[in-house]
Structure 1
Amino acid sequence: MFPKRDARIDAIADLEIFEGLDRKQLAKIASLSTQVTLPEGSVLCRRGERGREAFVLIEGSVAVCVEDQALAVLRPGAVFGEMSLLDGKPRVATVTATTQVSVLVLSPLELASLLEAVPAVRSRIFSTLGARKKDLTAAA
């Protein structure tokens, strides 16, 4: 008998942020998140608003902007929106889909559960967060 394949696990298995995780860890991530597909032009995060979710980009690309200045284009595997959930402050940038996107969405409780359940992801997210804060400070 073959193990059951889960399309959501397969979709995230090759993302850099989840690289090297086993099927059990990937299944935990899939169970804690909701996969959503959004059209081009959708605003996923708006600068100044309170964060209600974090995202992991599975397919497509998003632009990160502060005011009218483009800071980055994120590709599959990128995590965004987590900073506001972790520090409780308003969003520092607006993130808009530049193509149709597929994302994993994590509520504050789901993100906290993920960081606790899969320590490898916690260290990768905090590393990304540190680099991003440094980039935002330099851009200001």
Structure 2
Amino acid sequence: MKELEKNVQKLEPILGKLFLFRTLDEKLKKDLIENSVMVIAERDETIIREGDVENTIYILVDGEVEVVTWKDGREVFLSVLKPHAIIGEISAVAQKPRTATVRAVTPCSLIRIKSDIVSKILKESPEAKKILEIIKEGRERDTEEKQKQ
């Protein structure tokens, strides 16, 4: 993925639309903005690879991504995510390897939030942690159901 020049003025209004961002105190918001970067993914580029050990979270700004996993040697389609989706929350919250692969269906703009700030948010904002846990639990249920099909 190509990293774009840091532009705090661009990141703040995008992040401000997210309910998760609105739960943070001003210091955490500032830390989040300062430790985030806009990246571009080309069509078919892998953003997250299943099994990788990394806790970075992405916010999809523009474009669409598909989420897939593998079962019995075959690829299982899980979902398509659209702008404002949070990507990578399962690994960040559960502190475990990536549970799915995420690929760009179209050219995408994303905000990459570094793992150290994700850890800080999870520690210092119970409200944000709860939101991410709810998203994580829903996606884990969806994954289990789709793998049974």
Per the normalisation by structure 2, the TM-score is 0.75
Q: Deviations over 1:93-131 (max 9, x none)?
A: 110011121212123211011234444432221110111
Letter in 2 for 1:45: I
Q: Tell me how far apart the structure 2 counterparts of residues 7 and 86 of structure 1 sit (CA, whole Å).
A: 27
Q: Which residue does the alignment assign to 1:48?
A: 51
Q: Tell me how far apart the structure 2 counterparts of residues 15 and 89 of structure 1 sit (CA, whole Å).
A: 25
Structure 1 segment 8-87 matched on structure 2, within 5 A: 8-18=11-21, 20=22, 24=26, 26-67=29-70, 68-87=75-94
SS of corresponding position for 2:83: coil
Matched, 1:92 2:110: no
SS of corresponding position for 2:99: coil
SS of corresponding position for 2:106: coil
> How many equivalent residue pairs?
135
SS of corresponding position for 1:6: helix
Per the normalisation by structure 1, the TM-score is 0.79
Residue pair 1:61, 1:75 contacting (<8 A) in 2 also: yes
Gap change, CA 1:23 and 1:35, over 3 Å in 2? farther
Matched, 1:115 2:122: yes
Q: Which residue does the alignment assign to 1:105?
A: 112
CA-atom RMSD, angstroms?
Answer: 2.4
Gap change, CA 1:88 and 1:123, over 3 Å in 2? closer
Structure 1: segments with no counterpart, 5+ residues:
none
